[in-house]
A and B are shown apart, each in its own frame.
Chain A
Amino acid sequence: MITHKYDIVVIGSGPAGATVSRFAARAGLSVLLVDKKQELGAPIQCSGAVSRHALEEVGLPLAEEYILEPIYGFAIYDQAGKAKKIDYRRLKGEVYGPGPDRKPLGYVVDRRRFDRYCMMLAERAGVETWLKTEGLGYTPAADGSCTVQLRRYNQLLEVRCRVVVGADGLMSQVGKWAGLQTHIKITELAGCLQFIVDRVETDGLLEIITGHEWAPGGYAWVFPKGNGYAEIGLGVISTMTEHSAQWHLDKFMRQSFFKDRFAAARILEVQGGGVPLAAPLRTQYADNLILVGDAARHVNPITGGGIHTALSGGKIAADFLVKHLQGAEREDCSAGALAGYQSAWLAALGDKMWKLYHAKTAVFHQEDIPTRDAYLFKTMSDYFDPNSEYKKI
């Protein structure tokens, strides 16, 4: 029995889902945002690094509630520990730095607080939000709308809407409901593990450590995590190693050029996840359905970063849906009518992400390990260079 009707139903309240919802509701659409969790953002599967620009671009206030530490630049290391530092406090000290009249380049955020904050903003914009609510499937109807099957606190219910937005992350089931090709290759999904640690010093930089010895197929990282803590992690491609990410992280901490720096580290949290170093989905829409965020594989294939792409992709999706559902063709929510979402996304972001994917593929097609390592170090260094064409991705 259909109990509720909305213009759109969004499955998953991460940065992408909450952003689509917020902008859609603000423009006057009725929106239901559901998430199966009782606590958003947990368990944490993300390092939490995001540029200030990415937050400002979608009108997210820079709030103490979720910010753990400001970031002022990058340090890229090769396997032996030689570093290229890109510190905006030195490069553009008049703009970037701590203190008044200066600003950070970005932040490391607490994903539990950040996701909750994004949902709170959506809720205040008029979105109906239901936690402990899982999407089970959807059925397009003859009148151009669709029915979404949900389970909320063990109760099955059906809601009617015009468009379902799949924002259910890398493990997306929504894309599979529509029969979209969502399968990711084992060579393009990095298995990642990170520790939040005490007693490791950091200096306001995102540190990225390349080299097959430490992280085959991926890279290792050391990020400031606020309160004097650090985050040490890495991602590996499983076809390039016999061992798990856990084994590699242990080796990185005990044997790398940072072993003295890490000697006193005490582990406060263990987090992990799969990070796609892959191309965006070729088709991100179906009848009455679009995908956003990790579910659409809107993830930077060089860095594995997905918060910025989720936020800006979410706004692009909302802008499209608002225009479509308030326009003359609003009765038509077939795949063909929703294809414009993907075109808008490609023009704004996707084409650049495809370019990054090709750059990343060129690195890992190098068979010779030292050549590949040198290539990866250069690609990473160029990517974070102040003059990089990808600065805003």
Chain B
Amino acid sequence: MSKPPVIFSIGWNACINCGACVAICPQEAGFISPFDTIAVDRPCDIACLLCEQICPVDTIDHVVAPPPETALT
């Protein structure tokens, strides 16, 4: 069973912009934020959560992405 897509949220106060989350991310090119982190503005359909696991300061969290039919269009 595939995992539901998630949207990541980053506690920017603790984030040290180290890029470890991007380095471990299996997404295609471009799944990044302007602050050298994984993207936080769109769902991640892989949801492996390796980025949360690698984060040296434990500052990445997620919520399950709302299903597409309820998303704003």
Contact = CB atoms under 8 A, between A and B. Distances in A.
B24 A186 contact: yes
Interface string A274-298: 1010000000000000000000000
B57 A244 contact: yes
A246 B18 contact: no
B19 A193 contact: no
B16 interface: yes
Given A177-B29, A189-B24, A273 B54 contact: no
A337 to B, nearest CB: 24
Interface stretch (A115-123, A166-174, A198-206): A166-174
Chain B interface main SS type: loop
Contacts of B18: 43, 45, 192, 271-274
For the residues of A in contact with B, the DSSP-based class is: mixed
Contacts of A184: 23-24
Interface string A148-180: 000000000000000000000111010011000
B37 to A, nearest CB: 10
A186 B53 contact: yes
Report, as a range, how many residues of chain B touch the other chain: 20 to 34
Interface residues on A, range: 20 to 34
B36 A171 contact: yes
B22 to A, nearest CB: 4
Contacts of B26: 183
A246 B15 CA distance: 12
Interface of A: 43, 45, 137, 169-171, 173, 176-177, 183-184, 186, 189, 191-193, 238-239, 244-247, 270-274, 276
A386 B20 CA distance: 33
Which 5 A-B residue pairings sit nearest by Cβ, starting from the closest?
A: A274-B20, A176-B29, A245-B56, A272-B18, A171-B22
B56 A192 contact: yes
B45 interface: no
Contacts of B56: 191-193, 244-246, 272-273
Interface in B21-41: 22-24, 26, 28-30, 32, 36
Contact of A170 (B17, B19, B53, B58): B19
A292 B56 CA distance: 25
Given A171-B32, A173-B29, A176-B28, A273 B57 contact: no
Contact of B23 (A171, A193, A246, A247): A171
Contacts of B19: 45, 169-171, 273-274
20 contacts: A43-B16, A43-B17, A137-B29, A170-B19, A170-B23, A171-B36, A176-B28, A184-B23, A186-B54, A191-B20, A193-B57, A238-B53, A244-B55, A244-B56, A244-B57, A247-B58, A273-B19, A273-B20, A274-B18, A276-B23
Q: Which of A169, A189, A192, A274 counts the most chain B CB atoms within 10 A?
A: A274
B20 A272 contact: yes
A5 B57 CA distance: 43
Given A171-B19, A176-B28, A238-B54, 5 more contacts: A193-B57, A245-B56, A245-B57, A274-B18, A274-B54
B64 interface: no
A191 B54 contact: yes
A193 B54 CA distance: 11
A189 B17 contact: no
A43 B32 CA distance: 16
A245 to B, nearest CB: 4
B16 A189 contact: no
A166 B57 CA distance: 28
A186 B36 CA distance: 19
Contacts of B29: 137, 173, 176-177
A287 B19 CA distance: 27
Contacts of A45: 18-19
Contacts of B17: 43
B32 A246 contact: no
Contact of A274 (B24, B57, B58): B24
Most chain A C-beta atoms within 10 Å of own C-beta, residue among B18, B26, B32, B57: B18
